[in-house]
Amino acid sequence: MELQKISARQGNHNLQNYEKMRETFNWEDIQKNFSWNETGKVNMAHEAVDRHAQNPDKKNQVALSYSAPDREEDITFEQLSISSNRFANVLKKYNVKKGDRIFLFMPRIPEFYAAFFGILKTGAIAGPLFEAFMEQAIRDRLQDSEASVLITTPDLLGRVPQEDLPDLEKIILVGDHNENSDTYIDYQEEMKSASPDFAIEWVELEDGMLIHYTSGSTGKPKGVYHVHNAMIQQYATADWVLDLKEGDVYWCTADPGWVTGTSYGIFAPWLKGVTNVVRGGRFTPEDWYGTLDKYNVNVWYTAPTALRKLLSAGEEAVKKHDLSSLRHMLSVGEPLNPEVVTWGLDAFGLRIHDTWWMTETGAQLIVNLPSEEIRPGSMGKPIPGIEASIVDNEGNEVPPNQMGNLAIKEGWPAMMRAVWNNPSKFESYFINGWYVSGDSAYKDEDGYFWFQGRLDDVINTSGERVGPFEVESKLIEHQAVAEAGVIGKPHPERGEIVKAFITLNEGHEKSDELLEEVRQFVKTGLSAHAAPREMEFTDSIPKTRSGKIMRRLLKSWELGLPTGDTSTLEE
């Protein structure tokens, strides 16, 4: 395969000389792109929105090109600046201050973006929650963050817990409703009377901006805390990796409930001032191709799970559309199979560029650059300014081609600054000056990184991170379930699926109906993507003598693999 050949539609890339850039680069070089470099006044909302709104050449450019089955809207930078000013005034009126946590639980409708930047303009910290979360998932996150305001829609309100949230003072409802207690604020009404002018709260680069909850192998989801400084790396990668240029139309398919949907669905494109396509609703291959065609998308950032669906829809589906505007395609979230890269070259005449990073890293770290050779199956090489390596469990680097912990030298601009309320969890990521990712990988002689798997029990299903502990906790809340063990089982389209093993309490009979009932219990209590797609009864769950579930052993049984060291297994 001739992947070195650059397609006719590529060529003039923002980052040309990778090797030289790595040698000479300094993060301070990026600062000149920000207004705070001269004014000293910092706020992400200013750089991503207001700065363009104040520029006569850009203010009428479409910032957000929104479409859903029932609604279409184009919103300019100036309009977004005004609507987020209004929202900031609403928050101010209800005493929201710098550092407060304000959460959003709503679909990605235009009001989301006004509210999101309104939050940042007050200096408060935004917490976007994925629309598919159910009550337990929402309660955990609002409790841990001690959020004081939640913005949601009447449709989703039924899933918002009504008790056990002592810090939650106000709920802002976007859409028609009949709630009239003091807790509720009507979005439309307040926005109408709010001033379109707002004196933005200038912050420090190191002040809090965003919390994303993400799953680990133990405990409840953790609040990964990001600061305004992340913009430096988000801007740089928008330039080098997304290869965005003035006048581009860009589409990122991720929901802002996940980090890809904020870092690259909001910040990166708008820091670069390009038009951002946002699509609501569920996708079919026809919707994907149709959107690329209709909006003349130039740069597309998506996930392997979507690309695998397109692949199985066949090449005919692509050929029905005019995709000649498409110049650059990228992927993130799970391993990008080499056959998908090969197929992409046939179907689109373009290479698909894999990128690796995590919620905790805030921005891309290891990537396939548009100007570099691609090795299908490899995540690529670290961006300029980033030192990546493979280390052993003591944090010592290992030679090329040897597997180990994928690790990053501490201290890049977009790195999380804390795990909310949990300093020891934060500390546990770092060994000997390295941030240890939890992924295993190796690096070849030429510096390309190759993903091997997760080293912990975290499950990656269709690009979404699921913590087995969270699912196990929910399972045992069901009256019939005594114990539960949850693993990720390999799956051709979804990467992994959630599989649960359960034991029953006295007086309950094993049946398919019961399995389905328990599955629904997780689905409606936690979220659809965390609900086990496969379940099985077992007579006992293997545990260590200290009582830890041995998921590794469950997985070996499931896959028919040797069970390895079982010396710590309980009798």
By the rule CB under 6 A, 256 interacts with ligand WT7: no
Residues 479-508 that bind ligand WT7 (CB under 6 A): none
Nearer to ligand WT7, 122 or 214 (CB): 214
- Measure CA 467 to chain center: 15
Nearer to ligand WT7, 528 or 569 (CB): 528
The values of phi and psi at residue 374, to 5°, are -105, 135
By the rule CB under 6 A, 356 interacts with ligand WT7: yes
Binding mask 166-205 for ligand WT7 (x = CB under 6 A): ----------------------------------------
By the rule CB under 6 A, 141 interacts with ligand WT7: no
> Is 169 within 8 Å of 93 (Cβ atoms)?
no
User: In the complex, what is the shortest distance from the CB of residue 355 to ligand WT7, in angstroms, rounded to a whole number?
Assistant: 6
By the rule CB under 6 A, 439 interacts with ligand WT7: yes
471: DSSP letter? H
Beta strand 222-227 with 418-419: parallel, antiparallel or unpaired? antiparallel
Nearer to ligand WT7, 451 or 521 (CB): 451
User: In the complex, what is the shortest distance from the CB of residue 212 to ligand WT7, in angstroms, rounded to a whole number?
Assistant: 8
- Measure CA 547 to chain center: 32
User: In the complex, what is the shortest distance from the CB of residue 465 to ligand WT7, in angstroms, rounded to a whole number?
Assistant: 4
- Helical H segments across 177-303, by residue range: 187-193, 231-240, 259, 268-271, 285-294
Residue whose C-alpha is closest to residue 239's, from 257, 264, 210, 276: 264
Q: Which residues contact 373 (CB under 8 A, 6 or more apart)?
A: 3, 4
Residue range at the interface with ligand WT7 (CB under 6 A); choices 53-61, 81-89, 235-243, 326-334? 326-334
Q: Using the rule CB under 6 A, which residue among 265, 335, 384, 488 binds ligand WT7?
A: 335
By the rule CB under 6 A, 333 interacts with ligand WT7: yes
User: In the complex, what is the shortest distance from the CB of residue 185 to ligand WT7, in angstroms, rounded to a whole number?
Assistant: 32
User: In the complex, what is the shortest distance from the CB of residue 451 to ligand WT7, in angstroms, rounded to a whole number?
Assistant: 4
Binding mask 527-556 for ligand WT7 (x = CB under 6 A): ------------------------------
User: In the complex, what is the shortest distance from the CB of residue 373 to ligand WT7, in angstroms, rounded to a whole number?
Assistant: 17
> Is 149 within 8 Å of 172 (Cβ atoms)?
yes
Q: Using the rule CB under 6 A, which residue among 67, 214, 291, 473 binds ligand WT7?
A: 214
Nearer to ligand WT7, 153 or 378 (CB): 378
Q: Which residues contact 541 (CB under 8 A, 6 or more apart)?
A: 483, 484, 485, 501, 503, 549, 554
Q: Which tokens is 317 given? A: 């589906």
Sheet of 62-68, strand order? 71-76, 62-68, 275-279, 249-252, 299-302, 328-331, 352-356, 366-367, 381-382
Nearer to ligand WT7, 276 or 359 (CB): 359
Nearer to ligand WT7, 103 or 450 (CB): 450
Nearer to ligand WT7, 338 or 438 (CB): 438
* The dihedral sign for the CA sequence 476, 482, 483, 487: negative
Nearer to ligand WT7, 75 or 340 (CB): 340
355: DSSP letter? E
Q: Using the rule CB under 6 A, which residue among 153, 437, 462, 473 binds ligand WT7?
A: 437
Residue range at the interface with ligand WT7 (CB under 6 A); choices 59-67, 291-299, 354-362, 391-399? 354-362
By the rule CB under 6 A, 377 interacts with ligand WT7: no
Q: If you search the block for the tokens 């999380």, which residue do you land on? A: 416
> Is 307 within 8 Å of 332 (Cβ atoms)?
no
CA distance 198 to 181: 28
CA distance 326 to 283: 19
Residues 448-467 that bind ligand WT7 (CB under 6 A): 451, 454, 460, 465
CA dihedral of residues 286, 174, 130, 253 (deg, nearest 10)? 30
CA distance 504 to 514: 10
Q: How many residues bind ligand WT7 (CB under 6 A)?
A: 21
Residue range at the interface with ligand WT7 (CB under 6 A); choices 330-338, 386-394, 442-450, 527-535? 330-338
By the rule CB under 6 A, 383 interacts with ligand WT7: no
Sheet of 495-504, strand order? 481-491, 495-504, 534-537
> Is 375 within 8 Å of 19 (Cβ atoms)?
no
Residues 36-75 that bind ligand WT7 (CB under 6 A): none
| Helix, strand and coil percent figures for the chain, each rounded to 5 | 30, 25, 45
Residue range at the interface with ligand WT7 (CB under 6 A); choices 141-149, 165-173, 432-440, 469-477? 432-440
By the rule CB under 6 A, 359 interacts with ligand WT7: yes
The interaxial angle of helices 77-93 and 110-121, nearest 10 deg, is 60
User: In the complex, what is the shortest distance from the CB of residue 366 to ligand WT7, in angstroms, rounded to a whole number?
Assistant: 8
Q: Using the rule CB under 6 A, which residue among 47, 131, 255, 334 binds ligand WT7?
A: 334
CA distance 380 to 323: 26
Nearer to ligand WT7, 465 or 499 (CB): 465
Q: CA-CA distances (angstroms) from residue 74 to 71, 153, 221, 252, 279?
A: 10, 21, 35, 16, 12
Nearer to ligand WT7, 292 or 458 (CB): 458
By the rule CB under 6 A, 438 interacts with ligand WT7: yes
Nearer to ligand WT7, 336 or 518 (CB): 336
Residue range at the interface with ligand WT7 (CB under 6 A); choices 95-103, 142-150, 436-444, 534-542? 436-444
Residues that bind ligand WT7 in the complex, under the rule CB under 6 A = 214, 259-260, 332-335, 354-359, 379, 437-439, 451, 454, 460, 465
